[in-house]
Amino acid sequence: MPRRLRRADYTVGWVCALSVELAAAEAMLDEKHEDAIREVGDNDENVYCMGSVAGHNVVIVCLPAGHIGNNPAATVATQMRAAFKGIRFGLMVGIGGGVPSAEADIRLGDVVVSQPQWSSGGVVQYDFGRTTPNGLERIGSLNSPPQILLSAVSTIRANAMIGKSTLPDHLSTLERISIFQRRRAGPDLLFKASYNHEHGTTCDQCSVENRQLRPKRESGAEVTVHYGTIASGNQVMKDAAERDRVSAELGGVLCFEMEAAGLINSFPCLVIRGISDYADTHKNGKWQAHTAGTAAAYAKELLSVIPAAEVMNTRRAEDAMNSARKRYLKLSFPDHPSHKRTKAGISSSADSGSAEQRTVPIYFQESSRIPLNDEQKQCLLDSLRFDQIDARQMTINTAHAKTCRWFLSCEQYLSWLDTSKQGEHHGFLWIKGMPGTGKSTLMKYALVNARKAMKDHIVLSFFFNARGKDVEKSTIGTYRSLLLQLLERLPALQSVFDSLSASTSSFSADHKWNVESLKTLLEQAIRALGNSSVVCFIDALDECEEEQVRDMMQFFEHISDLALSNGLRFQVCFSSRHYPHITIRNGLELVLEGQEGHSQDITDYVETELKIGKTKVAQQIRVELQEKSSGIFLWVVLVVGILNKRFDRGQVHTLRRTLREIPRNLHELFRDILTRDAHNKDGLVLCIQWILFAKQPLSPEQLYHAILSGVDLEEVTEWDPEETTKDLVKRFILYSCKGLAEVTVSKEPKAKFIHESVRDFLLKENGLGEIWPELRRNFEGQSHERLKQCCLNYISLDVLTALKIPNDLPKASSQQAASLRKSVTQMFPFLEYAVCNVLYHAERAEGGGISQVAPLYIVAEKGASLMTQMLLDKGADVNAQGGHYGNALQAASVGGHKEVVTLLLDKGAD
């Protein structure tokens, strides 16, 4: 009958990343134990296997399926260390990608063990640091293995020299288990670094000539153990050239893997890797089982040379990490209240699993650091900021009167706020809904309310913006924004920048950030919160790339685990569509469709905004409208607008029929709106093209002129900015796009679609091709060609005459020049965009398969003298052939553009 021990009886923690590694570990147990009794209130989510090896009580844990990398490893190790307080040290045992070299004859099936050398503690994170003009500068260092394990390594190496290694015995045990047998792994094939894998799951199709032949080992041993540096990163190394480059930069590494860097500073441990591939494109899984076994066999040999009694005299892992953390805080945050609390609380909390069970900060343990001065810190703060950092949040419409109030009293929101339930939901609330349900409006309402009601909390936010620049729709933008907000709210936390300590010249307002450095800084700032609480609102996850979101969710789960184990309060409210589906281990979920409060919001909106009278028929229409809406608020807003127009035109008798004919589906409604009549089709298509494909969002005035330049250029020449008010421009845009575009209410208003689902319908759902079949083929290329023509039309306007600009222009830096630029912008608001981006649209059109002539020909044909002069000054070929008229001079002559002809002749055109 298996024994059942207390959790406190286990002294060795064994960590695996894959199920095959777990199987190998279990195969090495001398005795398997029953599950140890869990403590009351235990929030540990790991699943353990327990047993004994060479007299040591060992607890084995495997990372959750599908979760690999440094952050999941750190989370699992931290939870295990907190749950099994008797653990003295750990072993990270599994597979890795070998780095064959002249110095290290590494072959498949070999074992690599982390051992300190030079400046490395045995493991280095190769993809963490800061970007400099000379490339990636790696910073920080990772802990060395504990002394007891390094002493055991020395013993094993000595035993191997005199033929007393027990590794072959353990390998023989594994050979009796089919999956771990050497013969199942197949041949050991090493290809030249310059030769990439052909295709297929095996190397059967790969060139024999490109194999790298190696002589048989003199020792005849199938397994050789190598000791040295292991490279750890957040991505799979699968490129031989990159493998060799990184290895050379690091002074020579033995293998690559993905978990050790996250584990080393969370757990005193040794890393053991069986070589299952060569970290190149020929990587496959055939060797994984066998090499997981060789690594596990070495781990058993290691434990067999360590006396169990000696382990009991070693400091507990929990105490060792708390001590290291205490030293770190003393260095990094000498005046922060959390440091004072730590000094008083470490010993008492070590047994209770409370606030001080924090891991030593990963990657931030440089032995000597010079604190940054205020100027350097301010430069780094400024570098976190970016244009339009809160643009999306500012453009979201404020909730309609009386709506969204239900959210503050709904069960999920109240549970999320309840600190006593933190262990159940881990601080996560996820609002989900179909496109157009009003998620962003609800998130903005919740955020505004939190800032008013949670005065004692630090409230942070980020709203993804699919139409914005890359930084506005990426997690790197999320981390920059959240970190900036946090450090500005709590300036004392800016000490985390000291971890980046380097020369002053490294820090400037254009400091280049990467995701991993931002995640680490954010983690360190949250670790040092003390009694402060952080509440985050992150909207529209679906507007970011799925893989980035998945990585971010893993990171937040890691932060949540740390917060829970350290008594910190860290909460995040997310919102997204239902797809893509991303699973988190814990959290509350609120689905807008079907929520009683959400349905009432629609009722309130219809009652207030549907102005069709109070008759019995009108009330029936209100009821039918809500039933048909399926909870899609945007659908309701659009339909209310359609019905109000019918009523205002006296078409009361058509209201019910109109409502019946309106499609239930949001995308079908868009199609119905766009095809209801053929009026102003040219302006409608052009408006859509500009909003879809402009290089950057246009201001209302820019879009007004951009559309007119394509459909009615004469109107532009008669434009009077004083008579054409902002309201008129706004109405023109609304009319041109049939209500599917709007002007944002912000400091710098922009024209955009009323909702991201409009863009989805037009592009992702091929709505454009269905509505206008003639545009189905190469719509993007055709669109850029048309936008290029609009720019050329606008550039050809006689700006000099219209503004009475003299030939002798003032100096660019003068006040007169500034006044002139202001006049040009007011009178011709689209001119700057047209001049700067005409060639951009030409290039995109050519990329879409629409051939282009030389830029000089284009501007000469239009009679754009200023652009002609600019291109000539930049060295354009004045006699380049092409185009309908042959060359630029002929095109200008046919068009009667005398000034352009003169410019071309002066430059030698013939």
pLDDT, tens digit (0-9, with 9 covering 90-100), for 846-878? 888 787 778 888 888 878 887 788 888 878 888
Going by pLDDT thresholds of 50, 70 and 90, the confidence category of residue 882 is confident
φ, ψ for residue 94 (rounded to 5)? 175, -155
Residue type, 179: I
Q: Tell me the three state secondary structure of residue 109.
A: coil
Q: What is the pLDDT of residue 49?
A: 95
C-beta of residue 838 within 8 angstroms of C-beta of residue 786: no
Token pair, residue 253, equals 């590494």
Question: What is this structure's pTM?
Answer: 0.53
Residue type, 166: T
Q: What is the pLDDT of residue 865?
A: 82
φ, ψ for residue 680 (rounded to 5)? 55, 40
Residue type, 522: L
User: Average pLDDT, whole number, for the chain?
Assistant: 84
C-beta of residue 846 within 8 angstroms of C-beta of residue 800: no
| Distance in angstroms (rounded) separating the CA atoms of residues 487 and 378 | 11
- The most confident of the ranges 36-40, 289-293, 853-857, 879-883 is 289-293
DSSP state letter for 136: E
Q: What is the pLDDT of residue 336?
A: 45
Q: Which of 403, 405, 423, 346 is nearest to 41 (CA)?
A: 423
Q: Is the pLDDT of residue 344 over 70?
A: no
Q: Which of 667, 647, 633, 475 is nearest to 552 (CA)?
A: 475
Tokens 């509350």 — which residue? 588
Q: Tell me the three state secondary structure of residue 430.
A: strand
Average pLDDT rounded to a whole number, residues 663-684: 83
Average pLDDT rounded to a whole number, residues 319-341: 51
Calculate Rg over the CA atoms of the chain. 33
Positions of E strands within 342-490: 428-432, 458-463
pLDDT in tens, 760-808: 888 877 777 777 777 777 788 889 999 999 998 888 887 766 666 666 6
Going by pLDDT thresholds of 50, 70 and 90, the confidence category of residue 353 is very low
pLDDT in tens, 243-259: 888 888 888 899 999 88
**E strand or H helix at 573:** strand 569-576
Average pLDDT rounded to a whole number, residues 707-733: 83
Task: Go through the chain and tell me how many residues it has.
Answer: 910
Q: Is the pLDDT of residue 679 over 80?
A: no
Residue type, 242: E
Count the Cβ atoms, other than its own, within 10 Å of residue 579.
11
Q: How far is it between the farthest Cα atoms of the chain?
A: 103
Count the Cβ atoms, other than its own, within 10 Å of residue 378.
15
Backbone torsion region of residue 252, taken as left when φ is above 0, otherwise alpha when ψ lies between -120 and 50, otherwise beta: left
| Distance in angstroms (rounded) separating the CA atoms of residues 86 and 78 | 14
Q: What is the pLDDT of residue 347?
A: 30
Beta strands 48-53 and 31-32: pairing type?
Answer: antiparallel
Q: Is 394 exposed, middle or buried (0-12, 13-18, 19+ CB in 10 A)?
A: middle
CA 340 to chain centre: 35
| Distance in angstroms (rounded) separating the CA atoms of residues 669 and 738 | 12
C-beta of residue 394 within 8 angstroms of C-beta of residue 468: no
